[in-house]
Amino acid sequence: MDKSKQRPDPNDVTVAICLNLGDVMIGTMGLHRIDLVNRVAITGSVIFKTHHRNCGYGTDAKMLLLDYAFNWLGLYKVCSSVMAFNGRSAAYSKKCGYVEEGRKRAQWFRHGKRHDDMMILCSPSSATTGSLFGKSTRKV
């Protein structure tokens, strides 16, 4: 199918994460499978290059996305999943207000071992959006 004729999916919002300086796109972040009946969605993120990771950009971007999800779309909760060995992903999610809601045991096989899949959720009451919104946590 001709990609230019495909319509954007109204239940999927993917945004670019860009640096103000030089307007460089360093990653993407999304709200996927937005379900406005049940008011839930799934979040996912990636900062492309390792040297842009761990600088606070992911946290800053996620706070904006959560603000959009809860204060504009009126979602009840957003969910995600983290491979249990992904310490950075778990840490930044927790910083934004995600809490663990359960685990799929030994779901992933990486680096010669099995790892749990941590299912996490964030709700308006657990989100740190209110206190952190507009206050950058960036280290650079």
Ligand X SMILES: CC(C)(COP(=O)(O)OP(=O)(O)OC[C@H]1O[C@@H](n2cnc3c(N)ncnc32)[C@H](O)[C@@H]1OP(=O)(O)O)[C@@H](O)C(=O)NCCC(=O)NCCS
- Chain contacts with ligand X (rule: CB under 6 A): 45-47, 53-59, 82, 86-89, 91-92, 95, 137
Query: Which residue, 74 or 102, is less far from ligand X as judged by CB?
Result: 102
How far apart are the C-alpha atoms of 135 and 15, rounded to whole Å? 20
Cα distances (angstroms) measured from residue 118 to each of 9, 37, 81, 82, 100: 27, 25, 5, 5, 7
Whole-number minimum distance, CB 89 to ligand X, in Å?
4
Query: Dihedrals φ, ψ of 63, to 5°?
Result: -60, -40
Smallest distance from ligand X to CB 70, Å: 19
Closest distance of CB 15 from ligand X, Å: 13
Is the Cβ of residue 36 or residue 46 nearer to ligand X in the bound state? 46
